[in-house]
Each structure stands twice: as C-alpha cells, then as structure tokens.
C-alpha cells in the first residue's frame, strides 16, 4: 500500500478527490451526450423540412415564387448542406461515441456482475446502487444509438419521398434530377463510433449481447 487512506486527513483528501473527479467525468459525459442530442435533433429537423419541400416540388407552395428548376436546385443545395452537417457532427462526436460504446459494454458487464454478487450477499443498498447505475448506462448508450437510427431513417425518407411524388409530371427530362437525390439518400452519411460501429438500434443490441456474453464468461470464471 503506497498511502494508507484509513486515517485523517488522508481519508478526507482522497474522498474529496474522488468526488471532484467523479463530478468532472460525469459532467463531461453529460455535456457530450447533450451536444450529440442537439446536433442530431437539428439535423433531424432540417431533414424534415427538406421532406416537406420535396412534397411541394411539383406544384410549389401557396404564395411561393420560382419555377420547378429553382425549387429543385434549392432542394439539392439544402440536401448537400445537411449531409455536410451530419458528416461534421460525426467527425466531432466519433471519439466520444466509440468511448461510450466500448465503455458501456464493459460497464454493463461489470455492473451486472456486481449486482448479482451483491444480491447473493443480501447487500440491498449496494444492489440498488448498482442497478441504478446499470439502468443509467443502458439508457445512455441507447440514446446515442437511437439518435443515429433517427438520422439514418430520416435520410432514407428523403429518397422515398423523392420517388413517391408525381415526378412523372415534371416537364422534359427534369425528373432525372431526382435520381441523384435518391442515390445520395440511399448511401447517406451516418453517425458512427469512429467508423468502427454505426450508431443504430442494431448496435445497441450488439452492445447488450456482448455485455451479457462477457458477464456469463466472468460468472463462469469466478462463481
């Protein structure tokens, strides 16, 4: 033992160091997740507005000016800007996302194991604490994966809406302008965890399954 923390004032010093470090770590995680929610919801809202613009591509909105070419150019321009914003969001959050995915996988495993051991030893207070932490971390990684799923689904809706409108009413060969929009929607940029994992509901399921697999292995080795 390097330092004996059982006696004052070392005990109090290390106690407050743990409190401060825990507060800083959880504040950073909360801020990162809040930033991800704000960026994702902004992209989601812009994609929703773009879908409404595609719906009015043929006939235009009431009291709107411009012809079909102007509306189509505006739609393509806005789509490119939204994709660039999603790409920028992915670059900003990729390190945070991969840390959350990998960290949550390990945390779920160890917290699940700790909950089982505390339940077996009849330590109710510790058991409830571990369960609360388990639910909190599960919800945290679910939010990140759900945001990625929302963005991906909304991007796919762009291509679906481009096909579902009366594109055959467009004069001449102007309908070909929607082909690129549909192609880009089918291969849109997605939110990822450092390009290792795509943030989606499927990824959340993989995190849970991996955590359970590690938990079973840990139980086999220790219990």
Distance CA 102, CA 84 (A): 27
Beta bridge partners of 165: none
- The pLDDT, as a whole number, for residue 46 is 92
Angle (CA) 74-156-44 rounded to 5° is 65
Residue 10 lies inside a defined structural domain of this protein? no
Residue 94 CA: distances (Å) to CA of 10, 57, 136, 179, 195:
39, 35, 21, 30, 7
Q: What is the pLDDT of residues 83-125, one digit of tens each?
A: 899 888 888 888 888 888 888 888 888 888 888 887 877 777 8
Would you say 54 and 165 are in contact if contact means Cβ atoms under 8 Å apart? yes
What's residue 125's pLDDT?
A: 82
**Residue 119 within a domain:** yes
Q: Could you report how far apart the first and last alpha carbons of the chain are, in Å?
A: 27
User: Which residue from 111, 156, 146 is spatially nearest to 130, judged by alpha carbons?
Assistant: 111
How does pLDDT run across 132-167, given as a tens digit for each residue? 888 888 888 888 889 889 998 888 888 888 888 777
Number of domains the chain is built from: 1
193 assigned to some structural domain: yes
Query: Taking Cα atoms as reference points, which of 153, 152, 151, 158 lies closest to residue 181?
Result: 158
Q: What is the pLDDT of residues 2-59, one digit of tens each?
A: 666 677 777 888 888 888 988 887 788 788 888 888 998 999 999 999 988 888 877 7
- Within a domain: 100: yes
Give the pLDDT confidence score for residue 223 in this predicted structure.
62
What per-residue confidence (pLDDT) applies to 182?
A: 78
Task: Please say whether the beta carbons of 103 and 206 come within 8 A.
Answer: no
Please say whether the beta carbons of 104 and 137 come within 8 A. Answer: yes
13 assigned to some structural domain: no
Residue 2: inside a domain: no
Bridge partners of 192, per DSSP, are 198
Could you give the CA distance from residue 95 to residue 178 in angstroms, rounded to a whole number? Answer: 35
Whether 31 is in a domain gets the answer: no
Quick one: pLDDT at residue 45?
A: 92
Could you tell me the residue range of the domain that residue 132 belongs to?
36-222
Looking at residue 42, what is its pLDDT? 92
Task: Give pLDDT, residue 7.
Answer: 74
Asked if residue 130 lies in contact with residue 114, where contact means CB atoms within 8 angstroms, the answer is: yes
- CB burial string 33-50: b at 16+ within 10 A, e below: beebeebbeebbebbeeb
Residue 122 backbone zone (phi > 0: left; psi -120 to 50: alpha; other: beta): left
Q: What's the confidence (pLDDT) of residue 127?
A: 82
Question: Helix, strand, coil: what percent of the chain each, to 5?
Answer: 80, 0, 20
Whether 113 is in a domain gets the answer yes
pLDDT number for residue 110 = 85
pLDDT score at 173: 75
Residue 218: which pLDDT band, with cuts at 50, 70 and 90?
confident
pLDDT band of 76, cuts 50, 70, 90: confident
């Amino acid at each position: 033992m390097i330092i004996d923390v059982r006696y004052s004032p070392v005990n109090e010093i290390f106690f407050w160091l743990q409190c401060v470090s825990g507060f800083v770590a959880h504040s950073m995680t909360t801020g990162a997740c809040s930033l991800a929610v704000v960026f994702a919801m902004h992209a989601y809202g812009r994609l929703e507005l773009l879908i409404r613009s595609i719906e009015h591509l043929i006939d235009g909105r009431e009291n709107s000016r411009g012809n079909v070419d102007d509306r189509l150019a505006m739609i393509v321009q806005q789509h490119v800007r939204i994709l660039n914003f999603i790409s920028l969001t992915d670059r900003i959050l990729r390190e945070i996302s991969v840390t959350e995915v990998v960290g949550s996988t390990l945390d779920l495993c160890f917290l699940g194991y700790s909950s089982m051991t505390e339940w077996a030893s009849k330590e109710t207070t510790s058991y409830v604490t571990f369960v609360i932490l388990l639910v909190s971390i599960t919800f945290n990684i679910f939010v990140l994966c759900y945001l990625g799923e929302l963005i991906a689904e909304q991007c796919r809706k762009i291509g679906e809406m481009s096909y579902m409108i009366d594109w055959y009413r467009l004069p001449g060969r102007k309908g070909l302008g929607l082909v690129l929009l549909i192609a880009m929607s089918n291969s849109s940029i997605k939110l990822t965890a450092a390009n290792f994992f795509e943030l989606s509901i499927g990824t959340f399921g993989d995190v849970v399954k991996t955590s359970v697999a590690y938990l079973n292995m840990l139980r086999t080795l220790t219990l």
